[in-house]
Structure 1
Amino acid sequence: MQFFDLSRQFNLSDILTSHKTLKELGGMQWTLSKVRVEHDCLSGSDILEGQAVLKSSQNIQIELEWLIQDTGFELQVLFKGIETAACDETLVLVKGAQLVDAAQQKLSAQALSLWIDGTLLPMLPNIRKEIKARLNLWDYAEYDG
């Protein structure tokens, strides 16, 4: 039987969602699960933006915002807030787990971004190619017919 301290308010999702450390996340297998693209054809912007969903072997998801820049000789995929200047908006979202440090304290967004940049992205060396491969870039290219 489980007892809860009734003097505290409990959030049901806090009880039901597993707590994971970055070390535990690093021990999981990760794959690119989904790619979404956002492009306003009327704006004339050369930048494509979207979201990549990474899924672990334990059904934890990390959603990353990305953008594609045309450098003139290649299309470069950058992860917003990790490889670009961070904005005020949330650019990384974790679903299926609450991330904590060794002392079971909630992990900061900065620590998560550093882990993604230094550990997760190197674990997925072809992620940029996979993102570009899942897009039909001819839908967004201008050409003279």
Structure 2
Amino acid sequence: MRIPKKYGQSKINKCPFCGVQATFQNPQGLPVCRKHKEFSLDDLRCVCGESLEPCSGKFGPYFRCENCGNINFRKGLEFNEGRINRKKEPEIKTKEKKYDNPRKFEEIKSRASKDNDPKEVTVRSDELDFMYD
């Protein structure tokens, strides 16, 4: 029994550095995520010992070996798991509020909760104008 392909699931490129879905291409033409846009795959070796040259074609990225020929991208990465050039990722600065005084934080939190206290309204059946207050 043949299972039909679902739209959009037949080709999903993953970043070779972190495994997240790839949306960009690095200078070598390989699919990578936004964080690893400037990273490159260098000094990758085949099982036979020759160097692998990263290429990208009609059906996605692949590696070319002088002796073995074309090698699947996934297999080429499996051969070189330890050799992938994992440079230090640039630190992304985030804006975080730092509270020096914990009491000040509690005061701000209590003020916010006072504004959001719900009001209890009792409605009888003979009062129809409660919505217009």
Shorter-chain TM-score above 0.5: no
Q: Which band: TM-score by shorter chain?
A: under 0.3
Pick the structure with greater CA Rg.
2
Q: Which gives a bigger RCO, structure 1 or 2 (Cα 8 Å, sep 6+)? A: 1
- Structure having the higher helix fraction is 1
